[in-house]
Amino acid sequence: MASKANGGAGTETGEFDLCFWGVRGGIPTTNAETVRFGGNTPCIEVHCGDHLIILEAGTGIRPFGLALDQTFPIKADILFSVSRFDHACGLPFFNAGFNLANEFKVWAGHLDSGGSIEQDLNDLMTSPLFPISLSSIGGLKQWGDFIAGEEFELREGIRVLTAALNNPAGATGYRVEYSGKSLGYISNTGHSPDVPDETVLALIENCDLVIYDSYYYDEEVTDGELRGHSTWQEGLRLCQAAGVKRLAAFQHHPDRLDNELEQVQTILEARLPGSLVASEGKIVRL
pLDDT of amino acid 7? 37
Strand order in the sheet with 16-22: 140-145, 103-108, 75-80, 51-55, 43-48, 16-22, 283-285
pLDDT of amino acid 6? 45
Work out the pLDDT band at 14, boundaries 50, 70, 90. Answer: confident
Residues with Cβ within 8 Å of residue 194, at least 6 apart in sequence: none
pLDDT of amino acid 9? 40
Work out the pLDDT band at 193, boundaries 50, 70, 90. Answer: confident
pLDDT of 172-184, one tens digit each? 999 999 999 999 9
How deeply is 276 buried, as exposed, middle or buried, from its count of CB atoms within 10 A (0-12, 13-18, 19+)? buried
User: What is the per-residue DSSP string for 123-187?
Assistant: HHT-TTT-SS-GGG-TTEEEEEE--BTBEEEEETTEEEEEEE-S-TT--EEEEEEETTEEEEEE-
CB 161 within 8 A of CB 177: yes
Q: Is 51 helix (H, G, I), strand (E, B) or coil?
A: strand
pLDDT of 98-145, one tens digit each? 999 999 999 999 998 788 999 999 999 998 888 989 999 999 999 999
Q: Is 60 exceeded by the pLDDT of residue 11?
A: no
How deeply is 249 buried, as exposed, middle or buried, from its count of CB atoms within 10 A (0-12, 13-18, 19+)? buried
CB 215 within 8 A of CB 186: no
Q: What one-letter code names the amino acid at 78?
A: I
CB 34 within 8 A of CB 257: yes
In DSSP terms, which residues pair with 175 in a beta bridge?
Answer: 161, 184
251 Rama sector, left if φ>0, alpha if ψ -120 to 50, beta otherwise: left
pLDDT of amino acid 154? 95
In DSSP terms, which residues pair with 26 in a beta bridge?
Answer: none
Q: What is the largest CA-CA distance in the chain?
A: 52
CB 52 within 8 A of CB 16: no
Spatial distance between the Cα atoms of 263 and 177, rounded to a whole number of angstroms: 31
pLDDT of amino acid 32? 95
Dihedral of CA 15/20/21/26: which sign?
A: positive
Phi, psi of 55 (to 5 degrees): -95, 110
Q: Model-level pTM?
A: 0.94
CB 207 within 8 A of CB 190: no
Q: What is the dihedral of CA 206, 207, 213, 218, to 10 degrees?
A: 30
